Amino acid sequence: MKLFSLFGGQQKKETSSKYLLSLDIGTEVMKGLLFSMSNLGVDIWSSYQVTQQTHAMRSGMILNPEVVTENARLCIQKLVEKLEPNEVPSKMVLGMAGELVNGISIRVSYERGNDSKKKISEAEANTVVENVISDILTKGKGELAKRLDTTEDNVEVLQITVTGMFADGRKVDTIVGLSVDEVVLNLYASFAPKTYIRTLREISKSLDVEIASIVTQPFAVSRSFAGSWDSQFSAIFIDVGGGTTDVALVQNGDSIQTQMYAFGGRAFTKKIAQAMDVSYTIAEGRKIKYSTGDLPQDLRDEVRRLLAPDVQLWLDALVVAMEEFENVPDFPPQFYLCGGGAMLPDLKEAILAFPWHKHLPFKRLPKVTLVTPDKLDKVYDKSGLLIHPYDVTPASLAKFYWDVLRLPHLNYLGTY
């Protein structure tokens, strides 16, 4: 089991280069970062984007691996072009989104029985976490397969993260040295079909870059936001990409659930292109100018009218996705939006105007905030290029990997 020990370091060979890559293989745009890590956090040195061809991706799924590979090759070449040959990174962190990816919350209670008066040793703490993760990897695959509507042998576990530890009901950072009756672990497990992971492996092999980790993007975003680990923090994160919208729920800083659905910014661009009888490229330009308020008023009014039905469909899909969240006594009223599609002002307006309390347990009116990379914790932009909501995801992937190495007791990573 490639488990990051509860109190030890990463059990993996390190490369000589201090640099790593993060790659968000989006439906509309592939976004990559060159980063390094220190005790203080993640330093971002370069950023680059490649527009994906319409036949390359659909709803977060890779349709044409050869085209996606070439896009990734171009992206990486641009990111490392100023490095010396011995500085070129050999590892990358990949982000996954879309309906092929799934994530669940798991809560496990461990009764210590006659040992409750003894202090928990490092060995006992390791055993508890390793046994829990081992059970998920073996006994839990049947349930995971049902969620993916596939066979058990086609399930690949991407990550298992301990998002919270409780000792006799009190949240703690470590259970070592405590004399308690009950230990409770909150975990988040993400998984995807092996057939899809195989495609990512083949792309990685063609690029001659090792996959350090594959991360569910909404999870990475929600955990990278400054303050999201605090026990008082609760929020809903919505990452609106080109082909998918990814939703993550954070409750009290540790209970994580995610949902994804195939509806993103590309649908709005297509609507503009069809209704206005213009090319996809021109439609995308109009959508961007509409989002930034740079369209003439007459065109702006027309775009708003054209997009209204699709915005409603997007909102309806969001409600359905949130209805799938389990065991939520009441939803936090704070929404955080990121991703390129989140720049469309109509989405924020739709969330604010929707009567949430009639459909889901909301006790207060929602607030909506657009997230930019400066709101991420311990992510330092040395490039000066990270300014947009769509830069949040690749930066969050880098921050996730920093957390893995700094807090090894919280993570299991799959074998890639």
Do 291 and 399 lie in one domain? The reply is no
Structure tokens at 330: 């009441």
- Tell me the CATH number at 330: 3.30.420.40
Residues 113 and 178 in one domain: yes
Average pLDDT over the chain, rounded to an integer = 90
Final residue belonging to a domain, choices 358, 373, 388: 373
**For residue 201, what are the domain limits?**
19-100+194-224+376-413
Q: Read off the pTM.
A: 0.90
Q: 279 and 340 share a domain?
A: yes
Q: Give pLDDT, residue 38.
A: 95
**Do 364 and 247 share a structural domain?**
yes
Structure tokens given for 26: 């989006």
pLDDT band per the 50, 70, 90 thresholds, residue 409: low
Determine, yes or no, domain membership for 85: yes
pLDDT digits (tens, 9 = 90+) for 113-172: 888 899 999 888 888 888 888 888 888 778 777 877 788 888 888 899 998 899 999 988
Does one domain contain both 59 and 27? Answer: yes
Residue 185 and residue 199 in one domain? no
State the pLDDT at residue 10.
Answer: 38
Is residue 3, in this structure, part of any structural domain at all?
Answer: no
Average pLDDT estimate for 312-320 = 97
Confidence of residue 369 (pLDDT cuts 50, 70, 90): very high
Sequence-ordered list of residues with C-beta below 8 angstroms from that of 28, at least 6 positions apart, any chain: 51, 52, 57, 241, 242, 243, 264, 265, 266, 340
Torsion angle of C-alpha atoms 255, 259, 265, 271, degrees rounded to 10: -140
Give the helix/strand (H/E) hosting 221. helix 217-224
Q: What is the CATH number of the domain that holds 128?
A: 3.30.1490
Name the token pair of 211: 């996959």
Please determine, for residue 1, whether its predicted confidence score (pLDDT) is greater than 60. Answer: no
Quick one: 254 and 358 in the same domain? yes
- pLDDT exceeds 70 at position 231: yes
**Does residue 387 sit in the same domain as residue 362?**
no
Does any domain span residue 398? yes
Domain total of the chain: 3
50 and 132 belong to one structural domain: no
Same domain (yes/no): 185, 218: no
The tokens 């492996």 sit on which residue?
Answer: 201
Question: What is the tens place of the pLDDT at every residue in 94-104?
Answer: 998 777 778 88
Is 249 part of a structural domain of the chain? yes
Same-domain status, 359 and 255: yes
